[in-house]
Amino acid sequence: MKKNTIPMPDDKGYFGEYGGQIIPPELVVIMDEIKDAYLEISQTQAFQDELNDLYTHYVGRPSPIFYAKRLSEKIGGAKIFLKREDLNHTGAHKINHCLGEALLAKHMGKTKVIAETGAGQHGVALATACALVGLDCEIHMGEVDIAKEHPNVTKMKILGCTLVPVSRGTKTLKDAVDSAFEEYLKDPVNFIYAIGSVVGPHPFPMMVRDFQSIVGKEARQQFLEAQGKLPDVITACVGGGSNAIGLFTAFLDDETVKIVGVEPAGKGLDTPFHAATMSKGSKGALHGFECYNLQDESGEPLPVYSIASGLDYPGVGPQHCLLKDLGRVDYVAVNDDDCVDAFMTLSRVEGIIPALESAHAVAYAMQIADEMTADQSILVNLSGRGDKDAEFIADKLGL
Ligand SMILES: *Cc1c(COP(=O)(O)O)cnc(C)c1O
Protein backbone atom coordinates (compact mmCIF):
# COMPACT_ATOMS: atom_id res chain seq x y z
CA MET A 1 0.00 0.00 0.00
CA LYS A 2 1.38 3.37 -1.02
CA LYS A 3 1.44 6.06 1.60
CA ASN A 4 -1.04 8.81 1.09
CA THR A 5 1.21 11.84 0.78
CA ILE A 6 -0.57 13.71 -2.03
CA PRO A 7 -2.38 16.86 -0.79
CA MET A 8 -6.12 16.49 -1.00
CA PRO A 9 -6.78 18.73 -2.78
CA ASP A 10 -3.99 21.03 -3.99
CA ASP A 11 -4.66 24.77 -4.17
CA LYS A 12 -6.25 24.43 -7.62
CA GLY A 13 -8.66 21.84 -6.27
CA TYR A 14 -6.93 18.81 -7.82
CA PHE A 15 -6.76 15.42 -6.18
CA GLY A 16 -3.88 14.09 -8.31
CA GLU A 17 -5.25 14.52 -11.84
CA TYR A 18 -8.90 14.64 -10.74
CA GLY A 19 -11.17 17.49 -9.68
CA GLY A 20 -10.28 21.07 -10.59
CA GLN A 21 -12.58 23.70 -12.05
CA ILE A 22 -13.60 22.81 -15.60
CA ILE A 23 -15.86 25.83 -15.90
CA PRO A 24 -15.89 29.24 -17.68
CA PRO A 25 -13.50 31.88 -16.23
CA GLU A 26 -16.40 34.01 -14.83
CA LEU A 27 -17.45 31.04 -12.75
CA VAL A 28 -13.92 30.29 -11.58
CA VAL A 29 -13.96 33.73 -9.94
CA ILE A 30 -17.25 32.91 -8.17
CA MET A 31 -16.10 29.45 -7.07
CA ASP A 32 -12.87 30.94 -5.70
CA GLU A 33 -14.93 33.44 -3.71
CA ILE A 34 -16.88 30.55 -2.20
CA LYS A 35 -13.61 28.74 -1.48
CA ASP A 36 -12.04 31.77 0.20
CA ALA A 37 -15.17 32.43 2.27
CA TYR A 38 -15.32 28.77 3.26
CA LEU A 39 -11.65 28.61 4.26
CA GLU A 40 -12.01 31.78 6.30
CA ILE A 41 -15.41 31.26 7.93
CA SER A 42 -15.03 27.55 8.63
CA GLN A 43 -11.89 28.21 10.70
CA THR A 44 -13.66 30.59 13.06
CA GLN A 45 -14.73 29.35 16.45
CA ALA A 46 -18.18 30.91 15.98
CA PHE A 47 -18.88 28.87 12.84
CA GLN A 48 -17.53 25.66 14.37
CA ASP A 49 -19.61 26.18 17.51
CA GLU A 50 -22.75 26.94 15.50
CA LEU A 51 -22.34 23.85 13.31
CA ASN A 52 -21.42 21.54 16.17
CA ASP A 53 -24.34 22.77 18.22
CA LEU A 54 -26.68 21.92 15.33
CA TYR A 55 -25.06 18.51 14.86
CA THR A 56 -25.69 17.76 18.53
CA HIS A 57 -29.09 19.28 19.22
CA TYR A 58 -30.73 19.30 15.80
CA VAL A 59 -29.34 16.29 13.93
CA GLY A 60 -28.90 14.16 17.05
CA ARG A 61 -25.18 13.49 16.71
CA PRO A 62 -23.17 11.53 17.49
CA SER A 63 -25.00 8.74 15.68
CA PRO A 64 -24.40 5.42 17.46
CA ILE A 65 -22.45 2.40 16.27
CA PHE A 66 -24.59 -0.70 16.56
CA TYR A 67 -23.26 -4.27 16.66
CA ALA A 68 -25.51 -6.25 14.30
CA LYS A 69 -25.24 -9.43 16.34
CA ARG A 70 -27.99 -11.49 14.77
CA LEU A 71 -26.88 -10.55 11.25
CA SER A 72 -23.28 -11.46 12.11
CA GLU A 73 -24.32 -14.79 13.64
CA LYS A 74 -26.57 -15.62 10.71
CA ILE A 75 -23.68 -15.23 8.28
CA GLY A 76 -20.88 -16.52 10.53
CA GLY A 77 -17.37 -15.07 10.53
CA ALA A 78 -16.60 -11.40 11.15
CA LYS A 79 -18.67 -9.16 13.40
CA ILE A 80 -20.67 -6.55 11.46
CA PHE A 81 -21.13 -3.08 12.96
CA LEU A 82 -23.36 -0.28 11.61
CA LYS A 83 -22.69 3.46 11.86
CA ARG A 84 -26.28 4.65 12.21
CA GLU A 85 -26.53 7.72 9.96
CA ASP A 86 -30.09 6.56 9.32
CA LEU A 87 -30.95 7.89 12.79
CA ASN A 88 -30.09 11.48 11.90
CA HIS A 89 -32.86 14.06 11.63
CA THR A 90 -34.24 13.68 8.05
CA GLY A 91 -33.01 10.08 7.99
CA ALA A 92 -29.67 10.17 6.21
CA HIS A 93 -26.15 11.60 6.13
CA LYS A 94 -27.05 14.40 3.69
CA ILE A 95 -28.13 16.75 6.49
CA ASN A 96 -24.45 16.89 7.62
CA HIS A 97 -23.32 18.82 4.54
CA CYS A 98 -26.61 20.62 3.85
CA LEU A 99 -26.35 22.34 7.24
CA GLY A 100 -22.76 23.32 6.48
CA GLU A 101 -23.69 24.68 3.06
CA ALA A 102 -26.71 26.59 4.41
CA LEU A 103 -24.67 28.17 7.23
CA LEU A 104 -21.97 29.16 4.77
CA ALA A 105 -24.59 30.70 2.44
CA LYS A 106 -26.00 32.69 5.33
CA HIS A 107 -22.58 33.94 6.44
CA MET A 108 -21.76 34.94 2.84
CA GLY A 109 -24.99 36.94 2.65
CA LYS A 110 -26.41 34.85 -0.22
CA THR A 111 -30.12 35.45 -0.85
CA LYS A 112 -31.11 32.14 -2.40
CA VAL A 113 -29.90 28.56 -2.26
CA ILE A 114 -30.47 26.57 -5.47
CA ALA A 115 -30.11 22.87 -6.12
CA GLU A 116 -31.41 20.00 -8.16
CA THR A 117 -32.74 16.78 -6.77
CA GLY A 118 -33.35 13.36 -8.28
CA ALA A 119 -35.16 11.16 -5.80
CA GLY A 120 -35.74 14.16 -3.55
CA GLN A 121 -33.30 13.23 -0.77
CA HIS A 122 -30.95 16.15 -1.35
CA GLY A 123 -33.95 18.44 -1.88
CA VAL A 124 -35.52 17.53 1.46
CA ALA A 125 -32.24 17.81 3.40
CA LEU A 126 -31.45 21.18 1.84
CA ALA A 127 -34.99 22.53 2.29
CA THR A 128 -34.73 21.47 5.94
CA ALA A 129 -31.41 23.26 6.46
CA CYS A 130 -32.70 26.41 4.71
CA ALA A 131 -35.88 26.46 6.80
CA LEU A 132 -33.70 26.22 9.90
CA VAL A 133 -31.33 29.05 9.03
CA GLY A 134 -33.98 31.19 7.31
CA LEU A 135 -32.86 31.20 3.67
CA ASP A 136 -34.88 30.99 0.44
CA CYS A 137 -34.43 27.62 -1.20
CA GLU A 138 -35.26 26.66 -4.79
CA ILE A 139 -35.19 23.02 -5.85
CA HIS A 140 -35.35 21.89 -9.49
CA MET A 141 -36.78 18.44 -10.10
CA GLY A 142 -37.73 16.53 -13.25
CA GLU A 143 -41.45 15.93 -13.77
CA VAL A 144 -40.91 12.19 -14.03
CA ASP A 145 -39.19 12.22 -10.61
CA ILE A 146 -41.90 14.46 -9.16
CA ALA A 147 -44.51 11.88 -10.11
CA LYS A 148 -42.42 9.02 -8.66
CA GLU A 149 -41.23 10.59 -5.42
CA HIS A 150 -44.44 11.91 -3.99
CA PRO A 151 -43.59 11.85 -0.24
CA ASN A 152 -40.38 13.84 -0.73
CA VAL A 153 -42.14 16.36 -2.99
CA THR A 154 -44.78 16.90 -0.30
CA LYS A 155 -42.10 17.34 2.38
CA MET A 156 -40.25 19.95 0.32
CA LYS A 157 -43.49 21.90 -0.12
CA ILE A 158 -44.27 21.76 3.58
CA LEU A 159 -40.71 22.91 4.37
CA GLY A 160 -41.38 26.02 2.31
CA CYS A 161 -38.98 25.67 -0.60
CA THR A 162 -39.89 26.64 -4.15
CA LEU A 163 -40.16 23.52 -6.25
CA VAL A 164 -39.45 24.05 -9.96
CA PRO A 165 -40.78 21.20 -12.13
CA VAL A 166 -38.51 20.49 -15.12
CA SER A 167 -40.30 19.39 -18.28
CA ARG A 168 -37.45 19.35 -20.80
CA GLY A 169 -35.53 16.31 -22.09
CA THR A 170 -36.07 13.10 -20.16
CA LYS A 171 -37.60 15.13 -17.28
CA THR A 172 -35.17 13.52 -14.80
CA LEU A 173 -32.01 14.35 -12.83
CA LYS A 174 -29.73 15.45 -15.68
CA ASP A 175 -32.34 17.96 -16.95
CA ALA A 176 -32.91 19.18 -13.40
CA VAL A 177 -29.14 19.87 -13.09
CA ASP A 178 -29.22 21.92 -16.32
CA SER A 179 -32.29 23.85 -15.22
CA ALA A 180 -30.94 24.61 -11.74
CA PHE A 181 -27.62 25.67 -13.20
CA GLU A 182 -29.30 28.11 -15.61
CA GLU A 183 -31.16 29.70 -12.73
CA TYR A 184 -27.92 29.94 -10.75
CA LEU A 185 -26.13 31.69 -13.63
CA LYS A 186 -28.74 34.48 -13.58
CA ASP A 187 -27.11 35.87 -10.41
CA PRO A 188 -24.19 33.80 -9.12
CA VAL A 189 -23.09 36.68 -6.89
CA ASN A 190 -26.24 36.55 -4.77
CA PHE A 191 -27.27 32.93 -5.31
CA ILE A 192 -25.41 29.81 -4.30
CA TYR A 193 -25.67 26.40 -5.91
CA ALA A 194 -25.59 23.80 -3.13
CA ILE A 195 -24.10 20.62 -4.57
CA GLY A 196 -25.41 17.38 -3.04
CA SER A 197 -22.26 15.25 -2.95
CA VAL A 198 -18.45 15.40 -3.19
CA VAL A 199 -18.68 16.31 -6.88
CA GLY A 200 -18.71 19.45 -9.05
CA PRO A 201 -16.02 22.11 -9.33
CA HIS A 202 -13.59 23.01 -6.52
CA PRO A 203 -14.27 23.82 -3.64
CA PHE A 204 -17.35 21.55 -3.43
CA PRO A 205 -15.59 18.13 -3.29
CA MET A 206 -13.38 19.46 -0.48
CA MET A 207 -16.10 21.34 1.37
CA VAL A 208 -18.71 18.58 1.31
CA ARG A 209 -16.03 16.10 2.39
CA ASP A 210 -15.03 18.29 5.32
CA PHE A 211 -18.67 18.59 6.47
CA GLN A 212 -19.20 14.82 6.14
CA SER A 213 -15.94 13.87 7.86
CA ILE A 214 -17.72 14.13 11.22
CA VAL A 215 -19.01 10.60 10.45
CA GLY A 216 -15.57 8.98 10.40
CA LYS A 217 -14.21 11.11 13.22
CA GLU A 218 -16.97 9.90 15.51
CA ALA A 219 -16.87 6.33 14.23
CA ARG A 220 -13.13 5.89 14.75
CA GLN A 221 -13.29 7.13 18.33
CA GLN A 222 -16.49 5.22 19.17
CA PHE A 223 -15.10 1.98 17.74
CA LEU A 224 -11.78 2.31 19.56
CA GLU A 225 -13.54 3.05 22.85
CA ALA A 226 -15.98 0.16 22.57
CA GLN A 227 -13.71 -2.51 20.99
CA GLY A 228 -10.21 -1.42 22.03
CA LYS A 229 -9.03 -1.65 18.40
CA LEU A 230 -9.90 -0.46 14.93
CA PRO A 231 -12.18 -2.36 12.54
CA ASP A 232 -10.48 -4.61 9.96
CA VAL A 233 -12.68 -3.42 7.11
CA ILE A 234 -14.76 -0.25 6.69
CA THR A 235 -17.21 0.10 3.85
CA ALA A 236 -19.83 2.45 2.41
CA CYS A 237 -21.92 2.81 -0.75
CA VAL A 238 -20.67 5.22 -3.41
CA GLY A 239 -22.93 7.36 -5.57
CA GLY A 240 -21.17 10.71 -5.79
CA GLY A 241 -19.22 9.50 -2.77
CA SER A 242 -20.10 11.82 0.13
CA ASN A 243 -21.13 9.33 2.81
CA ALA A 244 -18.19 7.11 1.84
CA ILE A 245 -15.54 9.84 2.01
CA GLY A 246 -17.16 11.04 5.24
CA LEU A 247 -16.45 7.69 6.85
CA PHE A 248 -13.12 6.99 5.10
CA THR A 249 -11.30 10.27 5.81
CA ALA A 250 -10.53 9.53 9.47
CA PHE A 251 -9.11 6.07 8.60
CA LEU A 252 -6.92 6.85 5.56
CA ASP A 253 -3.68 6.74 7.57
CA ASP A 254 -4.64 3.57 9.48
CA GLU A 255 -2.81 1.07 7.33
CA THR A 256 -4.33 -1.97 9.03
CA VAL A 257 -7.81 -0.85 8.03
CA LYS A 258 -8.98 -2.10 4.63
CA ILE A 259 -11.31 0.44 2.99
CA VAL A 260 -13.90 -0.54 0.39
CA GLY A 261 -16.36 1.59 -1.59
CA VAL A 262 -19.41 -0.17 -3.02
CA GLU A 263 -20.90 0.91 -6.34
CA PRO A 264 -24.19 -0.20 -7.90
CA ALA A 265 -23.81 -3.06 -10.41
CA GLY A 266 -27.53 -2.75 -11.19
CA LYS A 267 -28.64 -5.55 -13.51
CA GLY A 268 -25.01 -6.55 -14.10
CA LEU A 269 -21.70 -4.99 -15.17
CA ASP A 270 -21.99 -6.71 -18.56
CA THR A 271 -25.29 -4.89 -19.26
CA PRO A 272 -25.82 -1.13 -19.82
CA PHE A 273 -27.92 -1.04 -16.64
CA HIS A 274 -25.50 -0.10 -13.88
CA ALA A 275 -23.73 2.96 -12.46
CA ALA A 276 -20.36 1.40 -11.61
CA THR A 277 -18.21 4.39 -12.46
CA MET A 278 -14.99 3.06 -10.95
CA SER A 279 -15.29 -0.47 -12.33
CA LYS A 280 -16.33 0.47 -15.87
CA GLY A 281 -15.63 4.18 -16.33
CA SER A 282 -12.82 6.14 -17.95
CA LYS A 283 -11.25 9.50 -17.24
CA GLY A 284 -13.01 12.62 -18.47
CA ALA A 285 -14.72 15.86 -17.47
CA LEU A 286 -18.27 16.02 -16.13
CA HIS A 287 -20.27 18.77 -14.39
CA GLY A 288 -17.23 20.98 -13.94
CA PHE A 289 -14.57 18.52 -12.74
CA GLU A 290 -12.34 15.64 -13.85
CA CYS A 291 -13.16 12.14 -12.68
CA TYR A 292 -13.76 8.59 -13.78
CA ASN A 293 -17.04 8.58 -15.61
CA LEU A 294 -19.35 6.50 -17.71
CA GLN A 295 -19.29 8.21 -21.10
CA ASP A 296 -19.75 7.45 -24.79
CA GLU A 297 -17.03 7.95 -27.45
CA SER A 298 -17.79 11.67 -27.72
CA GLY A 299 -17.49 12.18 -23.95
CA GLU A 300 -21.24 12.51 -23.32
CA PRO A 301 -22.38 10.94 -20.04
CA LEU A 302 -24.10 7.58 -20.58
CA PRO A 303 -27.53 6.89 -19.11
CA VAL A 304 -26.96 5.08 -15.82
CA TYR A 305 -29.15 2.87 -13.71
CA SER A 306 -29.43 1.54 -10.16
CA ILE A 307 -32.30 0.24 -8.09
CA ALA A 308 -31.15 2.90 -5.59
CA SER A 309 -31.82 6.26 -7.24
CA GLY A 310 -29.29 8.00 -4.96
CA LEU A 311 -26.50 5.98 -6.57
CA ASP A 312 -27.25 6.44 -10.27
CA TYR A 313 -24.72 9.12 -11.13
CA PRO A 314 -22.38 8.75 -14.16
CA GLY A 315 -19.41 10.31 -12.33
CA VAL A 316 -17.79 10.07 -8.90
CA GLY A 317 -15.98 12.39 -6.51
CA PRO A 318 -12.39 13.24 -7.52
CA GLN A 319 -10.83 12.16 -4.23
CA HIS A 320 -12.26 8.67 -4.70
CA CYS A 321 -10.64 8.52 -8.15
CA LEU A 322 -7.24 9.33 -6.66
CA LEU A 323 -7.72 6.88 -3.75
CA LYS A 324 -8.49 4.17 -6.30
CA ASP A 325 -5.35 4.94 -8.33
CA LEU A 326 -3.22 5.03 -5.15
CA GLY A 327 -4.62 1.64 -4.19
CA ARG A 328 -5.68 2.97 -0.78
CA VAL A 329 -9.37 2.24 -1.34
CA ASP A 330 -10.84 -0.73 -3.23
CA TYR A 331 -14.02 -0.24 -5.22
CA VAL A 332 -16.36 -3.15 -5.81
CA ALA A 333 -19.88 -3.42 -7.23
CA VAL A 334 -23.02 -5.07 -5.83
CA ASN A 335 -26.05 -5.84 -8.00
CA ASP A 336 -29.74 -5.10 -7.44
CA ASP A 337 -30.65 -8.63 -6.34
CA ASP A 338 -27.98 -8.77 -3.63
CA CYS A 339 -29.00 -5.26 -2.54
CA VAL A 340 -32.66 -6.28 -2.15
CA ASP A 341 -31.61 -9.42 -0.29
CA ALA A 342 -29.53 -7.33 2.15
CA PHE A 343 -32.42 -4.86 2.52
CA MET A 344 -34.81 -7.65 3.54
CA THR A 345 -32.28 -9.50 5.69
CA LEU A 346 -31.30 -6.46 7.74
CA SER A 347 -34.99 -5.57 8.15
CA ARG A 348 -35.89 -9.06 9.39
CA VAL A 349 -32.93 -10.00 11.58
CA GLU A 350 -32.19 -6.58 13.09
CA GLY A 351 -35.42 -4.60 12.68
CA ILE A 352 -33.58 -1.92 10.71
CA ILE A 353 -35.00 -0.98 7.29
CA PRO A 354 -32.04 0.50 5.39
CA ALA A 355 -32.09 2.83 2.39
CA LEU A 356 -31.53 0.84 -0.82
CA GLU A 357 -28.34 2.87 -1.28
CA SER A 358 -26.97 1.78 2.10
CA ALA A 359 -28.12 -1.81 1.49
CA HIS A 360 -25.38 -2.08 -1.16
CA ALA A 361 -22.75 -1.69 1.55
CA VAL A 362 -24.59 -4.11 3.86
CA ALA A 363 -24.67 -6.65 1.01
CA TYR A 364 -20.91 -6.34 0.54
CA ALA A 365 -20.31 -6.89 4.26
CA MET A 366 -22.53 -9.99 4.08
CA GLN A 367 -20.45 -11.28 1.14
CA ILE A 368 -17.08 -10.99 2.88
CA ALA A 369 -17.99 -11.71 6.52
CA ASP A 370 -17.93 -15.50 6.22
CA GLU A 371 -14.40 -15.49 4.79
CA MET A 372 -13.26 -13.64 7.92
CA THR A 373 -12.85 -14.81 11.53
CA ALA A 374 -14.96 -14.05 14.60
CA ASP A 375 -12.29 -11.77 16.10
CA GLN A 376 -12.40 -9.58 12.99
CA SER A 377 -14.88 -6.81 12.33
CA ILE A 378 -16.49 -4.86 9.51
CA LEU A 379 -17.88 -1.36 10.00
CA VAL A 380 -20.62 -0.39 7.52
CA ASN A 381 -21.80 3.18 7.04
CA LEU A 382 -25.60 2.87 7.14
CA SER A 383 -26.08 6.11 5.22
CA GLY A 384 -29.87 6.32 5.47
CA ARG A 385 -33.15 4.72 6.42
CA GLY A 386 -35.45 2.94 4.01
CA ASP A 387 -38.84 4.53 4.60
CA LYS A 388 -38.66 6.03 1.12
CA ASP A 389 -38.09 2.56 -0.39
CA ALA A 390 -40.55 0.51 1.64
CA GLU A 391 -43.52 0.82 -0.76
CA PHE A 392 -41.37 0.04 -3.80
CA ILE A 393 -39.90 -3.11 -2.23
CA ALA A 394 -43.26 -4.31 -0.94
CA ASP A 395 -44.67 -3.99 -4.49
CA LYS A 396 -41.66 -5.64 -6.04
CA LEU A 397 -41.75 -8.62 -3.69
CA GLY A 398 -45.55 -8.84 -3.59
CA LEU A 399 -45.69 -8.35 0.20
C1 LIG B 1 -27.91 10.37 -1.62
C2 LIG B 1 -27.66 9.14 -0.85
C3 LIG B 1 -26.52 8.32 -1.10
C4 LIG B 1 -25.56 8.58 -2.21
O5 LIG B 1 -24.81 9.74 -2.11
P6 LIG B 1 -23.27 9.75 -1.72
O7 LIG B 1 -22.86 11.14 -2.02
O8 LIG B 1 -22.57 8.73 -2.57
O9 LIG B 1 -23.17 9.41 -0.28
C10 LIG B 1 -26.31 7.23 -0.28
N11 LIG B 1 -27.17 6.92 0.72
C12 LIG B 1 -28.27 7.65 0.97
C13 LIG B 1 -29.18 7.23 2.07
C14 LIG B 1 -28.56 8.79 0.20
O15 LIG B 1 -29.66 9.51 0.45
Are 15 and 245 a contacting pair, CB within 8 Å? no
Q: Is the CB of 361 under 6 A from ligand 1?
A: no
Q: Is the CB of 357 under 6 A from ligand 1?
A: yes
Q: How far is residue 353's CA from residue 91's CA, in Å, rounded to a whole number?
A: 11
Q: pTM score > 0.85 for this model? A: yes
Query: Residue of the nearest CA to atom 13 in ligand 1?
Result: 384
Domains plus CATH for the chain?
A: 22-54+94-209 (3.40.50.1100), 61-91+214-397 (3.40.50.1100)
Q: Is the CB of 381 under 6 A from ligand 1?
A: no
Distance 251 CA to ligand 1 centre (A): 20
Cβ neighbours of residue 370 closer than 8 Å, sequence gap 6 or more: 75, 76, 77
CA angle in degrees (0–180, nearest 5) for 97-187-94: 10
Distance 25 CA to ligand 1 centre (A): 31
Catalytic status, residue 116: yes
Angle of the 336-350 helix axis to the 387-397 helix axis, nearest 10: 110
Query: Residue of the nearest CA to atom 1 in ligand 1?
Result: 310
116, 138, 149, 357: the active-site residue: 116
Mutate to test the pocket of ligand 1, among 95, 128, 199, 357 (most ligand atoms within 8 A of CB): 357
Identify any residues that bridge with 286 across adjacent strands, giving them in sequence order: 289
pLDDT for the residue 172: 85
Q: Is the CB of 358 under 6 A from ligand 1?
A: yes
Are 220 and 250 a contacting pair, CB within 8 Å? yes
3-state class (DSSP) for residue 17: coil
79, 83, 94, 324: the active-site residue: 94
Q: Is the CB of 242 under 6 A from ligand 1?
A: yes
Distance 375 CA to ligand 1 centre (A): 30
Q: Is the CB of 92 under 6 A from ligand 1?
A: yes
User: Could you give the count of Cα atoms lying within 13 Å of 48 in the half-sphere of its Cβ?
Assistant: 8
Are 91 and 63 a contacting pair, CB within 8 Å? no
DSSP state of 309: G
User: Closest Cα partner for 223 from 351, 373, 79?
Assistant: 79
Reading the chain (399 residues) residue by residue, the pLDDT tens digits are 445 556 789 999 999 999 999 999 999 999 999 999 999 999 999 999 999 999 999 999 999 999 999 999 999 999 999 999 999 999 999 999 999 999 999 999 999 999 999 889 999 999 999 999 999 999 999 998 898 888 999 999 999 999 999 999 888 888 898 899 899 999 999 999 999 999 999 999 999 999 999 999 999 999 999 999 999 999 999 999 999 999 999 999 999 999 999 999 999 999 999 999 999 999 999 999 999 999 999 998 898 999 998 998 999 999 999 999 999 999 999 999 999 999 999 999 999 999 999 999 999 999 999 999 999 999 999 999 999 999 999 999 999
Q: Kindly list the distances between the CA atom of residue 387 and the CA atoms of 41, 67, 245, in Å, as whole numbers in the listed order.
A: 36, 22, 24
User: Closest Cα partner for 125 from 243, 295, 275, 298?
Assistant: 243
Q: Is the CB of 152 under 6 A from ligand 1?
A: no
Q: Is the CB of 237 under 6 A from ligand 1?
A: yes
Catalytic status, residue 279: no
- Taking the CA of residue 94 as reference, the ligand 1 atom at the shortest distance is 15
What φ, ψ does residue 246 adopt, rounded to 5°? -60, -40
Q: Is the CB of 117 under 6 A from ligand 1?
A: no
pLDDT for the residue 5: 56
Mutate to test the pocket of ligand 1, among 198, 204, 383 (most ligand atoms within 8 A of CB): 383
Query: Residue of the nearest CA to atom 2 in ligand 1?
Result: 310
Catalytic status, residue 358: no
Query: Residue of the nearest CA to atom 5 in ligand 1?
Result: 239
Cβ neighbours of residue 377 closer than 8 Å, sequence gap 6 or more: 78, 79, 80, 81, 227, 231, 232, 233
pLDDT for the residue 185: 92
Q: How far is residue 320's CA from residue 13's CA, in Å, rounded to a whole number?
A: 14
